Amino acid sequence: MTDSSDTIRGIKDLPSTHLLGTGTPMCAGCGALEALHVIYDILGSKTVFVNAAGCMTLLSVYPFTPFRGSWLYTAMASAPAGAQGIRDALDILLQQKRITQEEDLEVVVLTGDGAAYGMGLSATSGSMERMLDYIYICYDNEGYGNTGQQYSAATPHAARTSTSHGVSGFAGYKKNLFDIWVAHKPAYVATVIGADPLDLAKKIEKARSMEGPRMIIALSPCPTGWDYDPRETVNIGRLAVKTGVWPLKEYADGEVVHTKIPRQRAPVEEYLKLQGRFAHLFEPERNEVLLAEIQARVDAYWEKVEVAEK
Amino acid sequence: MKRTLLTGNGAAAWAARLAAVDYIPAFPITPQTEIIETLADWIDTGEITGRLVTMESEHSMVTAAGSAAATGVRVFSATSSQGLLYAMEMLYTVSGWRAPFVLANVSRGLSAPITLEPDHNDILAARDSGFLQIHCASCQEVLDSTLMAYRLAEDERIRLPVIVNLDGFYLSFTREPVEIPDADAARQFVGSFDAENIRFRASAPESQAVAVLGGGPYSYFRYETHLAAINGAAVYDEIAEEFSRRFGRKHDAVEAYRADDADYLFVMMGSFASKAREAVDRLREDGWAIGLLRPRLLRPLPVVHLQKLLAKRKAVAVIDQNISMGMGGILHSELASVLYGRNDAPTVLASFIGGLGGRDISTEEFFEMAQSIRQAVETGQTPAPRLLYTQTELREVRKLQAIAQVERQQLGAIDD
């Protein structure tokens, strides 16, 4: 666990061993677990993780847990409300001097995209409007992963899922949760990815030093759901950033800043072609229309960023 | 002791105040809202020190209530009807957390059709949730039961959340003289909340409500919850006894009114039982040996008390202010299962449904039900379950339908 006085400047400042225990039932190559390791190293054991239904629910199966600190499983829709009750109760106990400051905990919500983008959005919105002092970690594997990767509100356009098997894949578009969260003006919002642990660590450390709602979306490459070899997780994560598909950015004090701008963006198809969920864009023949559309959407995003930067 | 005019909602708020609750997650819904408004006012004026947070739904409200109780503070919350159903997933969940707190439910009929007036389908939908249930028939009972509910919930033999039920309008908005216990005496009775090992502290990491794999551990924890709820029957008796010693009011698990020598009994829950009480008095004047049983405690079901109180009666009329579609009265089914196979069980256990959506049950209807069960004893034929409804009511509905019909035709004519 890192002291708040430490500052993470380079990759060498990251701990070489992880605090979160091993032997969890997560799939090999789980991009969410990859991110969670770094997050937990920084947040440490003086935390209570409040979980919603999703893959990570299986981290704590009676009587085992990889967490050194505390955990509460709630339900799919109301993890932020669970965080509200715990935070308020701890504040009451502190105020009444029934516990010392030493006994206080950082309250951390941990949910997948299914909860964050859909069912749990109302509870999340409520927590931000009440300026709840907590950290929200959404591991976004772009589908209802724990039930076998059906499409969710986080699924990208054209991705094949268990409920979008057609030649064009998912007809919808990934919901812009970052902007939805930012519209609430919480203390902090950031996108992260496990494949860039330094950017991730810096953001978690920054979030840790703040108060109020601190909201994190971790794009989480998912070998099982995205259909690729587990060893490609880091590579795919890096390509998500390098192609501009997953912009790394943060919001604080009313401003959105991109923490990493891929100046020489690789073509999106480098990212897409490694994943079975996009195989239908390449075989039996290239779907040039869809590929161009996906590329154009990424280009349009970055053009706006560049204009805003000037 | 001085008595104050309070609504049922006011009485619930007073009880939360006297129990010195730390935390109140809230969400408004008719006819419950006055409870949280009253508590919010007291917090604003500094009369009480608790913290009230308005959540964005009852689902979140019950989640926050459970997680705060699981962190070790005393929690109160209140809802009604659709709100209780919206929170249903979390009712089952937080009782499994063994997080003790008290939830007031102001009973109101369920949609569809949407209505504001009371019946018990909302609260009975929570019957199997793991929450214990106390049903009230007066504003005084609302206050007293809520104080008792904290003792019940927090008892080390139980540690489950408790719902205190009061009927919308008939109790929620009706002012009755209520004795408000002295704050110190109430505080002494309720005691302070010892979270024991159910809490979150940095020095003692705890994993709560983790997943289980397989039916073995799942059944174990479910059985544990059930056995804890069962303990509630004896513990309730102790608490009611102590409450009576301290405050001079006895709230038995089952109220028995003029039942000692009764051959015939009405059985009802909630405030509409006062209508039955009135009918019992009138029938007694006519020479009937009739009485009333009113279960206050529904979960756990006070089985032993009910078996004893129902034994050796000639006939029983169970009047359910609820309806299980395709089956009928829920209390009737429960009593049938309590009595089945007992030699001393009444031979006639008749079912009547009434009071849905606040529909009145008239004294004449009570007379009719009494006649009906007496006749059943004579003929040896238990009557089929009856849905109380009068010719007049049917005529009124027919009038509404006629208006609807005329309007529809009128609109049709415009289209043409």
Residues of A within 8 A of B94 (CB-CB) are none
**pLDDT tens profile B327-337:** 999 999 999 99
* Residues of A (88-107) whose Cβ lies below 8 Å from B: 88-93, 96, 98-99, 102-105
For residues A275-294, give the mean pLDDT.
Answer: 97
Identity of the amino acid at A282? F
Is the ipTM reported for this complex over the cut 0.90? yes
Residue of B130, B81, B127 whose CA lies nearest to B104? B81
* Residues of A (129-168) whose Cβ lies below 8 Å from B: 129-130
pLDDT for the residue numbered B90 = 98
Confidence at A239, pLDDT banded by 50, 70, 90: very high
Among A70, A96, A129, beta carbon nearest to B200: A70
Residues forming a β-bridge with A117: none
Q: Which residues of chain B are modeled with pLDDT < 70?
A: 1, 413-416
Provide the 8-state DSSP code for A115. Answer: I
Tell me if B207 and A71 make a contact (CB, 8 A cut-off): yes
Among B51, B57, B67, beta carbon nearest to A122: B57
pLDDT for the residue numbered B411 = 85
Write down all domains in chain A, each with its CATH number in brackets: 11-309 (3.40.50.970)
CA distance B345 to chain A (A): 44
State the greatest distance between any 2 C-alpha atoms of chain A, in Å, as a whole number.
Answer: 68
CA distance B387 to B369: 11
Mean pLDDT (chain A) is 96
DSSP A170-214: --S----HHHHHHTT--SEEEEEETTSHHHHHHHHHHHHTS-SEE
Tell me if A123 and B211 make a contact (CB, 8 A cut-off): no
- The token pair that represents B142 in the structure block: 């609302």
Q: For chains A and B, what is the number of CB pairs under 8 angstroms?
A: 153
Confidence at A305, pLDDT banded by 50, 70, 90: very high
Residue of B409, B387, B240 whose CA lies nearest to B327? B387
- Give the best residue of A19, A61, A74 to mutate against chain B (max B CB count within 10 A): A74
State the greatest distance between any 2 C-alpha atoms of chain B, in Å, as a whole number.
Answer: 77
Residue of B383, B366, B363 whose CA lies nearest to B375? B383
Residue of B nearest to A44 (CA): B202
Tell me if B202 and A123 make a contact (CB, 8 A cut-off): no
**pLDDT tens profile A204-237:** 999 999 999 999 999 999 999 999 999 999 999 9
Judge whether B108 and B31 are in contact, CB under 8 Å. Answer: yes
CA distance A30 to A231: 10
Residues of B within 8 A of A92 (CB-CB) are 22-23, 51, 68, 73
Residues of B within 8 A of A146 (CB-CB) are none
Confidence at A7, pLDDT banded by 50, 70, 90: confident
Provide the 8-state DSSP code for B382. Answer: P
Rg for chain B (alpha carbons), in Å?
22
Confidence at A1, pLDDT banded by 50, 70, 90: very low
**pLDDT tens profile A20-70:** 999 899 999 999 999 999 999 999 999 999 999 999 999 999 999 999 999
Domain B254-392 in CATH 3.40.50.920? The answer is: yes
**pLDDT tens profile A146-192:** 999 999 999 999 999 999 999 999 999 999 999 999 999 999 999 99
Judge whether A275 and A281 are in contact, CB under 8 Å. Answer: no
The sign of the CA dihedral B83, B86, B92, B96 is: negative
Enumerate chain B positions whose Cβ falls within 8 A of a Cβ in A.
22-23, 25, 51, 53, 55-57, 59-61, 63-73, 75, 89-90, 93, 97, 200-203, 205-213, 217
User: What's the angle, vertex CA B86, arms to CA B84 and CA B92, rounded to 5?
Assistant: 70
Residue of A nearest to B56 (CA): A126
Residue of A nearest to B90 (CA): A75
Tell me if B207 and A60 make a contact (CB, 8 A cut-off): yes
Confidence at A308, pLDDT banded by 50, 70, 90: confident
CA distance B8 to B10: 5
Cβ neighbours for B384, distance < 8 A, ≥ 6 positions apart: none
Cα–Cα separations (whole angstroms), residue A234 to A20, A33, A242, A251: 19, 12, 12, 25
Q: What is the dihedral of CA A282, A288, A289, A293, to 10 degrees?
A: 80
pLDDT for the residue numbered B415 = 53
For B125, other C-beta atoms within 10 Å of its C-beta total 18
Tell me if A84 and B55 make a contact (CB, 8 A cut-off): yes
CA distance B214 to A164: 31
Identity of the amino acid at A107? V
Q: Residue A3 above 50 pLDDT?
A: no
**pLDDT tens profile B174-231:** 999 999 999 999 999 999 999 888 899 999 999 999 999 999 999 999 999 999 999 9
Residue of A nearest to B63 (CA): A82
pLDDT for the residue numbered A2 = 44
Tell me if A81 and B22 make a contact (CB, 8 A cut-off): no
Residue of A nearest to B194 (CA): A98
- The token pair that represents B96 in the structure block: 């499994």
CA distance B119 to chain A (A): 29
Residue of A nearest to B24 (CA): A85
- The token pair that represents B47 in the structure block: 């009369």
- Three-state secondary-structure class, residue B15: helix
Tell me if B51 and A88 make a contact (CB, 8 A cut-off): yes
pLDDT for the residue numbered B414 = 52
CA distance A132 to B229: 34
Tell me if A102 and B203 make a contact (CB, 8 A cut-off): yes
pLDDT for the residue numbered B328 = 96
CA distance B122 to B111: 10
Alpha-helical (H) ranges within chain A are 31-43, 79-95, 113, 121-129, 177-182, 197-208, 223-226, 233-242, 268-272, 288-309
Residue of B375, B170, B411 whose CA lies nearest to B268? B170
Tell me if B210 and A123 make a contact (CB, 8 A cut-off): no
Tell me if B211 and A62 make a contact (CB, 8 A cut-off): yes
Class in CATH terms, B3-247: alpha beta
Identity of the amino acid at B411? L
User: What's the angle, vertex CA A141, arms to CA A13 and CA A52, rounded to 5?
Assistant: 90
CA distance B397 to B407: 15
Q: Which residues of B242-256 are buried (b: 16+ CB within 10 A; e: fewer)?
A: ebeeebeeebbbbbb
CA distance A61 to A65: 7
